[in-house]
Amino acid sequence: MFQLKTNFPENFLWGGATAANQLEGASDVGGKGLSVSDVYIFDENIPKEHWSDQWHMMTHRQVEEAQNPSSEKYYPKRQGIDFYHNYKEDIALFAEMGFKCYRMSLAWTRIFPNGDELEPNEEGLAFYDRVFDELNKHGIEPIVSLSHYEMPLYLVTEYGGWVNRKVIDFYVRFATTVFNRYKDKVKYWITFNEINCVKHHPYVSVGIIEENHPHIEQAKYQGAHHQFVASALAIKACKEINPEAKVGCMISYQLLVPYSCNPDDIQATVENQRTSLFFSDVQARGYYPSYTARMFAEKNVVLEIEPEDEQIMREYPVDYVSFSYYMSSAISAHPEKLEGAVGNLITGGIKNPYLPTSEWGWQVDPKGLRTALNQLYDRYQKPLFIAENGLGAVDTIEPGDIIQDDYRISYLRDHIKQIKEAISDGVDVFGYTSWGCIDMVSASTNQMSKRYGYIYVDQDDRGRGTKRRIKKKSFDWYKKVIASNGEQLG
């Protein structure tokens, strides 16, 4: 009855993760439209500490200029790493590592360029047919995010983003189209990438331009509500098309811990953590949690909810919960008195003196992943999937195309060890995809030099280079990890 699990499951899904907007490129090929991510620029003349400012505060002027074909700004995500034309080579490299799965996203704008069309773009659908066929040829299971920071820009400029209820129907049409098209090629789906990150960057999450918004909190949560409804409707459609398919949610999970045993710090931690878990609470349980009323009252949020919304959400919760994990953060009720952590994923966290800090200010906490897995499994009792985990760093090429990324190996090794511990704790976790398995444009800073991959791409922050793919030391290391099913960590 009680059997201790000491190994990864035999069918554990090892792989890597990317996002269409960061690697595909070919933004002007195959009828693709502009997405919200195509608006981000990279300018080396801006001080490095401000590279991610636009990630948190999009302006009307920047959106307007991005639609000007004559703009001289550099938009890195329009170029990506040209996966569009190199997908066969890249997937072959994933297969050489032994990937069991590949977490990817669809560019909504390849299939519905503006988002509100009645009929899909066949060229876009055919491209993903080719990608899925290539993955199948190598025995790699696709895990597909429907929306990963790439909603059509037209839905922002003409409809106001997800605050407009009409976007639900546009999303469901998109989802139903791809469920039908790929029903024999895709088993695992994720409705929205890091849905809780609307808290930090609502423009790219729900299509709200933050600049001078009169009631940003109201807009964030109204947009999130419409995404909850859209997710439930998408799950309904998916189950009707392919009852065997599995549909999950995804949150960004930054484990929060009290800075001290002061009761005020403990309560502040609970309240801060709830602001992230709120989103998975709704999608995994199918209803708004009991703490919602107070949280909304304190934010002065009053949702517009249609009578049928609550029923569809309750009837169609997700099958599994996926999440990204990079770091933890300490929380204090009085952060102004303490040294803050400066990592670009951290919002208001306090520096934890017990943890090392990465090049980008992240507080590296492998044991926090074990804690996170236990917390989420205890809370939802649904299978878990680690959709993102990894270390961004500047890599140096030595003579002979040697890239000694031992720092990346160390980070990943320490986290994988903690996944195994969580499995022994009784957590049902069925897969792990490290983030950025091939170098690509950074989501938040739009640079190339912040690299996560096992595969180096010869391209600089301005998009210059041969785009040649080069294996790093971590490539062979991860290959051995997968071949041994997590037993040989080096």
Structure tokens given for 477: 């290391």
β-pair partners for 251: 323
DSSP annotation of 349 reads: P
Q: Which of 194, 298, 308, 487 is catalytic?
A: 194
Contacts of 378 (CB under 8 A, 6+ apart): none
Contacts of 184 (CB under 8 A, 6+ apart): none
Closest Cα to residue 251, out of 225, 274, 277, 269? 277
Structure tokens given for 301: 């949020």
Q: Which of 388, 398, 421, 487 is catalytic?
A: 388
| Cα three-residue angle 341-343-348, rounded to 5 degrees | 50
DSSP annotation string for 167-223 = HHHHHHHHHHHHHHHTTTT--EEESSTTGGGGGT-HHHHH----TT-TTHHHHHHHH
Residue 147, classified by CB atoms within 10 Å of its CB into exposed (0-12), middle (13-18) or buried (19+), is buried
Q: Catalytic annotation on 194?
A: yes
DSSP annotation string for 456-474 = EE---TTS-S---EEE-HH
- Please state the length of the chain: 490
Output phi, psi for 386, to 5 deg.
-85, 100
One-letter identity of residue 112: F
Closest Cα to residue 190, out of 280, 313, 318? 318
Structure tokens given for 223: 């947009």
| Cα three-residue angle 260-265-269, rounded to 5 degrees | 110
What is the pairing mode between strands 469-471 and 455-457? antiparallel
Radius of gyration of the chain (CA): 21
CB atoms within 10 A of CB 274: 16
Closest Cα to residue 77, out of 468, 467, 461? 461
β-pair partners for 255: 328
For residues 482 and 100, the answer to whether their CB atoms sit within 8 Å is yes
Provide the annotated active-site residues: 194, 388
